[in-house]
Amino acid sequence: MSRNFSQPVEQLCYEQVNGSCVKTSYSLGPRVLLYTVFGFGSLLAVFGNLLVMTSVLHFKQLHSPTNFLIASLACADFLVGVTVMPFSMVRSVESCWYFGSKFCTFHSCCDVAFCYTSVFHLCFISIDRYIAVTDPLVYPTKFTVLVSGICISICWILPMVYSWAVFSTGVNDDGLESLVTALNCVGGCQIAVNQDWVLINFFLFFIPNLVMITLYSKIFLVAKQQAMKIECTSSKAESSSESYKVRVAKRERKAAKTLGVTVIAFMMSWFPYIIDTLVDAFMGFITPAYVYEIFGWCAYYNSAMNPLIYALFYPWFRKALKLILSGEVFKDGSSNISLSSE
């Protein structure tokens, strides 16, 4: 398939190899532009999420169940930037896979696993925020570090087992033998997924997102009710315990709003790709190659967006970022530095 960036010239990925895939070459300008855009996203995903993980793990003030979930989510996005995006960048620009068939399978498994790892993390984060907002004083006893650790384990183990069980065994392309034969050329890395597994993938993505939408709708409804209650009682004298409740409620609502932005960004990035794969499987794989690439890279870029969201909405991350980049974290006692007034 040709793409509409320029007039492509068809060549072979491996000129001296029989059965080589066809290579679609771009002129210098589009190649430089694509490598710049994709490369920037990869670097941002790697270094941005590395900074998030370093911030949470280094500073003791940030050692909380929610932040451990955020650090684990950042780890998933970091691994996307390391194991998925650079190789997808070369495949997208060169239209050839130069890294071998075994690494193609590994790459595809990582792609799927880290996607669902992110979905599960965000789902558990929404549950965490729901408990924190609806019952902020009891929340510390309900969502402990141990509970957070269990959630993190589930987020990693289930997607890994699922992706390797499906894509390393080849059951994903049962019934698509003719399509697999057409795609099976030297220098290609296109994974075919039949309708059954596309449906399973869709529901594995859709159900956690439905949970997130439901919980965040309830969170913002409760937050609105709490804000109205605070406004009604603001003119009255408050006891120290009531004042503490108000501060805790405000803090948890603010955290919920920030993480809600993260969830919305994830859905906007991934839904076009997920819907396209669903439609494509039932319509005979009609999506043009360049449209599929655009949807795919919108999804990949989500891994680079979360650190930017944290930088915009989290003062503690901005302060931690300054301390890390200035080298202050290498001084004795830096882990005890206060990052916020909370």
Inside any domain, residue 197:
yes
Tally of CB atoms within 10 A around 257: 16
Beta strands in the chain (DSSP E): 9-12, 22-25
137: enclosing H helix or E strand: none
* Chain centroid to CA 223: 26
Side chain identity at 142, as an amino acid letter?
K
How far apart (Å, rounded) are the C-alpha atoms in residues 29 and 6? Answer: 9
Tally of CB atoms within 10 A around 24: 21
What's the half-sphere exposure (Cβ side, CA atoms, 13 Å) at 100?
3
Which CATH number does the domain housing residue 32 bear?
Answer: 1.20.1070.10
Res 255: pLDDT: 62
Number of domains in the chain: 1
**pTM for the full predicted model:** 0.85
- Each residue's pLDDT tens digit, 175-206: 676 666 666 788 888 777 788 888 888 898 88
Inside any domain, residue 2:
no
Inside any domain, residue 338:
no
Closest CA to 130 of 261, 262, 259: 259
Res 217: pLDDT: 83
Side chain identity at 191, as an amino acid letter?
I
How far apart (Å, rounded) are the C-alpha atoms in residues 73 and 120? Answer: 9
Res 88: pLDDT: 94
Inside any domain, residue 1:
no
Q: Are 82 and 41 in contact (CB under 8 A)?
A: no
- Rg, Å, the chain Cα set: 23
Closest CA to 297 of 119, 40, 98, 51: 40
Closest CA to 52 of 65, 69, 71: 71
Res 182: pLDDT: 64
**Token digits of residue 252:** 């948890």
Strand partners, 24: 10
Q: Are 59 and 339 in contact (CB under 8 A)?
A: yes
57: enclosing H helix or E strand: helix 28-58
Res 2: pLDDT: 37
Side chain identity at 209, as an amino acid letter?
N
- The whole domain housing 70 covers 9-331
- Distance in Å from the first CA to the final CA of the chain: 55
Planar angle of CA 127, 48, 277, nearest 5 degrees: 65
pLDDT tens, N- to C-terminus, the chain (342 residues): 334 444 445 688 888 888 788 888 778 888 999 999 999 999 999 999 999 999 999 999 999 998 999 999 999 999 999 999 999 999 999 888 999 888 988 998 999 999 899 999 999 988 998 888 888 788 888 889 999 999 999 999 999 999 988 887 777 777 676 666 666 788 888 777 788 888 888 898 889 989 988 888 888 787 777 666 665 655 555 555 555 555 555 655 666 677 778 788 888 888 888 888 888 878 877 788 788 889 999 999 999 988 888 877 788 888 898 999 888 888 888 888 888 744
Inside any domain, residue 339:
no
Res 254: pLDDT: 64
How far apart (Å, rounded) are the C-alpha atoms in residues 300 and 45? Answer: 9
Res 196: pLDDT: 84
Inside any domain, residue 342:
no
Inside any domain, residue 227:
yes
